[in-house]
């Protein structure tokens, strides 16, 4: 292989990206050395097994990926803003929409949700950590390795270019001869293993580590949503694992699964992809429902309306999510019976989802609503998501779908579902739980300004796409002529995209501004909220709860505040905590190199990296470190420092 | 000592799994085609049950309810994936 | 660490109980994983293009031998756990060693079988049928291979640290894994080989 094949060449934009990557990396290395932060980074972050810090790392990665995916989005909108644009060529456009989709779903939405659930779930159930803290660190570093592997593809070897769905035969070695789709299969595989382990970890955590008295039906709704999500994860992700494995075999080892000759069946890829892909939609959206439930209840000063029906609807959704996947390919050639069946199951999902919408509305009903930033996102979510849901039911009708299929109407629909559903939720959750982790709130004025930019611009960007789709504009079109009449609406959409970009920049600026100027919160409960995480001081000490709380009902912290009853009468005793370990980080590095070498089919290095993975796993197995104890005096001191004189 | 090391439950499980494997072999004989799949299904499911109940002690832990739900859910997803895919590509294919 | 003496060693601590429960969940994921491979195999089984079909290449003798060896190894790992609960460390280790040897024997026959197929001109890239067959069998075989490495690591730990909460817990979880591989094999035996031959 020649060097000009190894690095991507010939594109001024990519040269610019390379230069900036090198400069930023050098700046980070220089900064760490100059301020002598290497030891801090290693001790406090790279080796941590603390669920809160792992959560923070997930969220930082997610925010960076939001900007990577956002730049892709702006480039796409710019290229289609006017007829016959020459900003990107067809190949570059293909790469941009592929990476936009993959990054936004798998490396932005998922880690953002994982970050929030890492920070919040153990606190909500009154636990000191997750069930398997080391495994949690492994999950994070595998995700990180996968994300990095995916991102270097655009400077080394070339990005995947067959869409985030990577349909065969387009994604085969014959039609996509660059290593781009090798990156796709391996990066997603590595981060997928991490996701699966997270799923197992959180189910055990939620089912086995709840505080005394917290029965399943007393859990906060976010914890419930995470539990259901993790159930979907552990049964859906293995399907992706296999699909990606077969893709890798087809591309690297010449197997015939999805080929056009020798009995291969390209449509089988689409089938497997969506057997995983549809439950994946719910993996992203159910925790969002949980976040909104928490926020709407907290800022209406009411308990959540219809708690049991909320739980039941999520259980039903988790089952139905495995029964609808063929609605993604109604036009593929299966008979009317098949399409009819999947049409009905798809429409059935609207029922439990509708139940949830009504529950939120009834929670708001007669509540004392305070319009904070997280609440604004939650309130905006309800109508916008409903538009997404209704257009979803339109798409669910198989016969009508023959008209909408693969048009911009579909693009508009899923952005109307995923942006209010997932993005608004994680941003709302980010504002809501930020003071818990860092000890101060984000500035409300900046937060609200960003909200209005995002909420309005979102509609300006995506509402025109419904009409463009109905006019016949297909998705993934990189250019069109003036005669089509697509120009004006696309230009409008571009204007909206710029507004969205400004909104997100304001959001990050708010983090910077608030870090410098916001007053510190000493109460630990700045929103006057309801669940156990707010009973701890902020920032939360490493052991979470000085004494394990005891729960007597739903919204336990709220009633302990109202009735002036402490959450526990026990005395402080020494606390057992897991020790930090650098092995998950090293395992992530080994997996990164294993993936990288396989992408280029460099066999000897691949085998060496594979053996390294096994050796690291073996050393972990031989580890006999059972953690350490925090003595009582230290706990008392920490609590006094964080809470002032209140204890 | 022998009796202690080879408990009757395990020996019975082992023998029954060998017998069930042998029974499955009748599908290679000249019997009605319709009954063959039924025999394979029954013997395989029984064998899986033998492993689960007698060897894996599925019902012994305090979380047995969750474990049963987990296995049931896994089988649900497994069946839906297998049968649904065959429904799409074989039984329900447009022709 | 709270120790509960009323339970067997492998369940004795909270962490141990969490690990066993977590591993059951992982096995649930493994069921979905193998179900996907079976899906692929069932869809592609008749699509052998110009290459041979299953009926033409399957031979019952090595398959029966593999089945017998794996069923026996599942029996012996069960006995190992039984001996462990009686506190008989030496007998337990002997049963585990027998299990691993049988596992290695199984793997040997499978590798021999693969060589025979390749010799007959059937490789991963011959047809969609061949690809799905090799991948299904290979994934199971890779699990067995990993099991051999894992089991060996546990044996070394048993030797080094003796039978305690940690090693008992690991051995028990390994036994769950091994039984599960046996269950998967039963389905391969029935729905790949016997169905292909009938």
Residues B53-69: tens digit of each pLDDT = 888 888 888 888 999 99
Inter-residue contact A99 to A194 (CB < 8 Å):
no
- Restricting to A residues 487-506, those with a Cβ less than 8 Å away from any Cβ of C are none
Residue A424 near residue A377 (C-beta atoms within 8 A): yes
Domain ranges of chain A: 37-643
Residue of C nearest to B50 (CA): C183
Residues above pLDDT 70, as percent of chain A: 99
Confidence of residue A565 (pLDDT cuts 50, 70, 90): confident
Q: C83 and B71 in contact by Cβ < 8 A? A: no
Average pLDDT over residues A456-482: 95
Question: Which H, E and C letters describe A508-527, residue by residue?
Answer: HHHHHHHHHHCCECCCCCCC
Q: Is the dihedral of CA A66, A72, A75, A79 positive or negative?
A: negative
Give me A458's structure tokens: 């979102």
Nearest CA in chain B to A236: B77
What pLDDT was estimated at residue A647? 45
Using a pLDDT cut of 90, give the percent of chain A over it.
83
Residues B27 and B72 in one domain: no
Angle (CA) C53 C59 C64, round 5° = 135
In this prediction, residues A553-581 reach a mean pLDDT of: 89
Q: Do B9 and B50 fall within a single domain? A: yes
Domain A37-643 superfamily per CATH: Cytochrome c oxidase-like, subunit I domain (1.20.210.10)
Q: How far apart are CA C97 and CA C171, in angstroms?
A: 12
Q: Are the beta carbons of A326 and B89 separated by less than 8 Å?
A: no
Q: What separation in angstroms does the CA of A62 have from each of A22, A107, A188, A584?
A: 21, 6, 15, 20
What chains are in contact with C, requiring at least 3 Cβ pairs below 8 Å?
Answer: A, B
What is the model's pLDDT at position B70?
Answer: 94
Nearest Cα residue to A270 out of A417, A163, A178, A397: A163
Dist CA C10 CA A594 (whole Å): 34
With a cut of 50, say whether residue B17 has pLDDT above it.
yes
Span A59-67, mean pLDDT? 94
> Are the C-beta atoms of residues A376 and A448 closer than 8 Å to each other?
yes
C3 contacts chain B (CB < 8 A):
no
Residues B41, B67, single domain; the answer is: no
Measured CA to CA, the distance from residue A404 to residue A394 in angstroms comes to 9
What pLDDT sits at residue C76?
Answer: 96
Contacts of A254 in chain C (CB under 8 A): 124-125
User: Cβ contact (<8 Å) for A208 and C17?
Assistant: yes
Cβ of residue B94 closer than 8 Å to a chain A Cβ: yes
> Which residue among B36, B74, B85 places its CB closest to the CB of C198?
B36
How far C174 CA sits from the closest chain A CA (Å)? 12
Token digits of residue A438: 């860092």
Look up the CATH architecture of domain C9-197. Answer: Up-down Bundle (1.20)
Instruction: Tell whether B48 and B72 lie within a shared domain.
Output: no
What pLDDT sits at residue C2? Answer: 64
CA nearest to C38, candidates C142, C118, C140, C107: C140
- Closest partner residue to A323 (CB to CB) among B80, B85, B95 is B80
If one counts the domains in chain B, the total is 2
The DSSP code for A263 is: T
CA gap A419, A109 in Å, rounded:
10
- Domain span including residue B92: 62-95
- Give the CA distances from residue A166 to residues A479, A612, B12, B76, in Å, rounded to whole numbers and listed in that order: 21, 30, 50, 27
User: Per-residue pLDDT tens for A287-322?
Assistant: 999 999 999 999 999 999 999 999 999 999 999 999
Tokens found for residue A32:
């760490």
Query: What's the mean pLDDT in B19-45?
Result: 90
Are B52 and B71 in a shared domain? no
Is residue A253 exposed (0-12), middle (13-18) or buried (19+ Cβ within 10 Å)? middle
* Residue A543 in this model has a pLDDT that exceeds 60: yes
For an interface test with A, the pick among C14, C15, C18 (most A C-beta atoms closer than 10 Å) comes out as: C18
Report residue A352 as tokens: 């439990």
Q: Which H or E element spans position A630?
A: strand A628-630
The phi, psi pair for A35, rounded to 5°, reads -90, 10
Contact yes or no for A132 and C32 at CB 8 A: no
CB A325 within 8 A of CB A274: yes
Task: Please tell me which residue, A470 or C6, carries the higher pLDDT value.
Answer: A470
Same domain, B34 and B75: no
Q: Is the pTM higher than 0.90?
A: yes
* Inter-chain residue contact A265 with B89, CB threshold 8 Å: yes
Look over chain A and give the mean of its residue pLDDT values, rounded to a whole number. Answer: 93
Give me the residues paired with residue A407 across strands.
A474
Report the pLDDT value the prediction gives residue A35, as an integer from 0 to 100: 86
**Averaged pLDDT for residues A121-142:** 95
Q: What is the 3 state secondary structure string of chain C?
A: CCECCCCCHHHCEHHHHHHHHHHHHHHHHHHHHHHHHHHHHHHHCCCCCCCCCHHHHCCHHHHHHHHHHHHHHHHHHHHHHHHHHCCCHHHHHHHHHHHHHHHHHHHHHHHHHHHHHHHCCCCCCCCHHHHHHHHHHHHHHHHHHHHHHHHHHHHHHHHHHCCCHHHHHHHHHHHHHHHHHHHHHHHHHHHHHHHHHC
Q: Are residues B9 and B47 in the same domain?
A: yes
| Ranges of chain C whose pLDDT falls below 70 | 1-2
The band of A469, judged by pLDDT with boundaries at 50, 70 and 90, is very high
Interface confidence: ipTM more than 0.90: yes
Does C140 contact chain A (CB < 8 Å)? Answer: no
Q: B: neighbours with 3+ CB pairs under 8 Å?
A: A, C
Q: How far apart are CA A555 and CA B20, in angstroms?
A: 54
- Give the bridge partners for A474, in sequence order: A407
């Amino acid at each position: 292989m020649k060097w000009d094949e190894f690095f991507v060449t010939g594109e001024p934009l990519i040269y610019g990206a390379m230069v900036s990557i090198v400069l930023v990396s050098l700046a980070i290395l220089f900064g760490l050395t100059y301020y002598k932060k290497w030891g801090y980074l290693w001790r406090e972050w790279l080796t941590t097994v603390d669920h809160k810090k792992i959560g923070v790392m997930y969220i930082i990665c997610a925010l960076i990926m939001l900007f990577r995916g956002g730049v892709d989005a702006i480039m796409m909108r710019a290229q289609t803003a006017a007829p016959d644009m020459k900003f990107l060529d067809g190949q570059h456009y293909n790469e941009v929409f592929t990476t936009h989709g993959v990054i936004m779903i798998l490396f932005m939405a998922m880690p953002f949700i994982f970050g929030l659930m890492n920070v919040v779930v153990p606190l909500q159930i009154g636990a000191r950590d997750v069930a398997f803290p080391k495994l949690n660190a492994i999950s994070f570093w595998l995700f990180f390795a996968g994300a990095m592997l995916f991102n270097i593809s655009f400077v080394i070897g070339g990005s995947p270019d067959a869409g985030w769905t990577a349909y065969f035969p387009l994604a085969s070695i014959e039609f996509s001869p660059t290593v781009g789709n090798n990156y796709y299969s391996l990066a997603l595989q590595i981060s997928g293993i991490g996701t699966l382990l997270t799923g197992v970890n959180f189910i055990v955590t939620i089912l086995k580590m709840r505080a005394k008295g917290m029965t399943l039906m007393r859990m906060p709704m976010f914890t419930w949503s995470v539990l259901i999500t993790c159930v979907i994860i552990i049964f859906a992700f293995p399907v992706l694992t296999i699909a990606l494995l077969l893709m890798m075999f087809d591309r690297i080892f010449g197997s015939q699964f999805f080929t056009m000759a020798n009995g291969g069946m390209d449509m089988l890829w689409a089938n497997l992809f969506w057997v995983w892909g549809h439950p994946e939609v719910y993996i992203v959206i159910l925790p969002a429902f949980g976040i909104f439930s928490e926020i709407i209840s907290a800022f209406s000063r009411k308990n959540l309306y219809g708690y049991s029906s909320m739980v039941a609807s999520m259980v039903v959704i988790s089952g139905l999510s495995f029964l609808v996947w063929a609605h993604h390919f109604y036009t593929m050639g299966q008979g009317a019976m098949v399409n009819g069946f999947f049409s009905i199951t798809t429409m059935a999902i609207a029922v439990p989802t509708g139940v949830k919408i009504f529950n939120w509305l009834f929670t708001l009903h007669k509540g004392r609503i305070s319009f904070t930033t997280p609440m604004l996102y939650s309130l905006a979510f309800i109508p916008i998501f409903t538009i997404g849901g209704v257009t979803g039911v339109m798409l669910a009708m198989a016969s009508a779908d023959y008209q909408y299929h693969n048009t911009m109407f579909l693009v508009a629909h899923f952005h109307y579902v995923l942006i209010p559903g997932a993005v608004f939720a994680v941003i709302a959750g980010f504002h809501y739980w930020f003071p818990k982790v860092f000890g101060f709130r984000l500035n409300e004025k900046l937060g609200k300004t960003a909200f209005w930019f995002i909420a309005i611009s979102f509609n300006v960007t995506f509402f025109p796409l419904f009409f463009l789709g109905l006019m016949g504009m297909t998705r993934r079109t990189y250019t069109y002529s003036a005669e089509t009449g697509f120009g004006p609406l696309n230009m409008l959409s571009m204007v909206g995209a710029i507004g969205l970009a400004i909104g997100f920049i304001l959001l990050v600026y708010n983090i910077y501004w608030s870090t410098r100027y916001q007053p510190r919160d000493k109460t630990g409960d700045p929103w006057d909220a309801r669940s156990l995480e707010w009973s701890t001081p902020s920032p939360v000490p490493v052991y979470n709860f000085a004494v394990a709380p005891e729960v007597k009902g739903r919204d336990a912290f709220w009633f302990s505040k109202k009735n002036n009853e402490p959450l526990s009468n026990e005395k402080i005793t020494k606390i057992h905590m897991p020790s930090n370990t650098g092995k998950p980080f090293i395992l992530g590095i080994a997996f990164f190199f294993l993936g990288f070498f396989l992408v280029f089919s460099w066999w000897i290095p691949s085998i060496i990296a594979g053996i390294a993975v096994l050796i690291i796993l073996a050393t972990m197995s031989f580890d006999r470190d059972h953690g350490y104890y925090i003595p009582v005096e230290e706990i008392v001191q920490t609590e006094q420092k964080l809470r002032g004189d209140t204890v | 000592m022998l009796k202690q090391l080879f408990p009757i439950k395990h020996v019975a499980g082992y023998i029954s799994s060998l017998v069930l494997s042998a029974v499955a072999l009748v599908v290679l004989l000249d019997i009605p085609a319709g009954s063959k799949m039924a025999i394979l299904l029954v013997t395989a499911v029984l064998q899986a049950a033998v492993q689960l109940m007698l060897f894996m002690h599925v019902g012994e832990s305090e979380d047995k309810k969750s474990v049963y739900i987990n296995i049931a859910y896994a089988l649900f997803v497994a069946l839906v994936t297998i049968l649904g895919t065959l429904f799409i590509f074989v039984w329900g294919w447009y022709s | 660490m709270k120790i509960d003496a009323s339970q067997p060693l492998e369940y004795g601590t909270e962490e141990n109980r969490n690990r066993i429960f977590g591993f059951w969940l992982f096995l649930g994921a493994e069921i979905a994983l193998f179900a996907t491979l079976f899906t692929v195999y069932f869809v592609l089984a008749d699509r052998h293009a110009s290459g041979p079909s299953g009926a033409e290449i399957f031979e019952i003798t090595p398959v029966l031998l593999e089945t017998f060896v794996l069923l026996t190894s599942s029996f012996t790992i069960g006995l190992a756990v039984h001996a462990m609960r009686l506190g008989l460390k030496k007998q337990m280790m002997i049963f585990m060693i027998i299990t691993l040897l049988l596992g290695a024997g199984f793997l040997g026959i499978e590798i021999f079988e693969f060589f025979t197929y390749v010799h007959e001109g059937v490789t991963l890239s011959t047809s969609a049928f061949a690809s799905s067959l090799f991948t299904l069998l290979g994934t199971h075989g890779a699990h067995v291979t990993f099991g051999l490495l894992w089991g060996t690591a546990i044996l070394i730990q048993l030797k080094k640290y003796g039978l305690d909460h940690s090693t008992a817990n690991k051995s028990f979880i390994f036994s769950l894994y091994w039984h599960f591989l046996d269950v998967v094999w039963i389905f391969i035996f029935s729905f790949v080989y016997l169905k292909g031959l009938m």
